[in-house]
Amino acid sequence: MIDVQTYMDLNKLYADYASVIDAEKWDEWAEFFEEDCEYKVQPRENHERGYPLATMWFISKNMLKEGLNKAF
C-alpha cells in the first residue's frame, strides 16, 4: 500500500505525461525518460503472436529524441 502523498505524486506524473502527449510536445515528452532507457513501438499483431519485431526501438534518451525529430 502506498501513502497518500505518493499516490498524489503518481497521479500528477500520469496527468503531466498525458497532457504533454495530447499537446504533441514531443521534446517535453522525451524528458520523462532516463538517459539510459528503452522504448519500443511494436505492432499489436506482432505482440499478440509473440513476435519480437518492433517497428521502432530506441535504446537511449538521445536516440529517442533523434527519432522524434525525424518523425515530427
pLDDT in tens, 3-54: 999 999 999 999 999 999 999 999 999 999 999 999 999 999 999 999 989 9
Residue type, 27: D
How far apart CA 69 and CA 62 sit, in angstroms, is 11
Write out the three cell numbers for 57: 526501438
- Taking the model in full, what pTM does it have? 0.77
Whether residue 71 is predicted with pLDDT greater than 90 in this model: the reply is no
Residue 72 pLDDT level (bands cut at 50, 70, 90): confident
Q: What is the pLDDT of residue 36?
A: 97
Cα–Cα distances in angstroms (integers) from residue 38 to residues 15, 20, 42, 59, 63, in the given order: 22, 19, 13, 4, 9
Q: What is the pLDDT of residue 29?
A: 96
Q: What is the pLDDT of residue 65?
A: 94
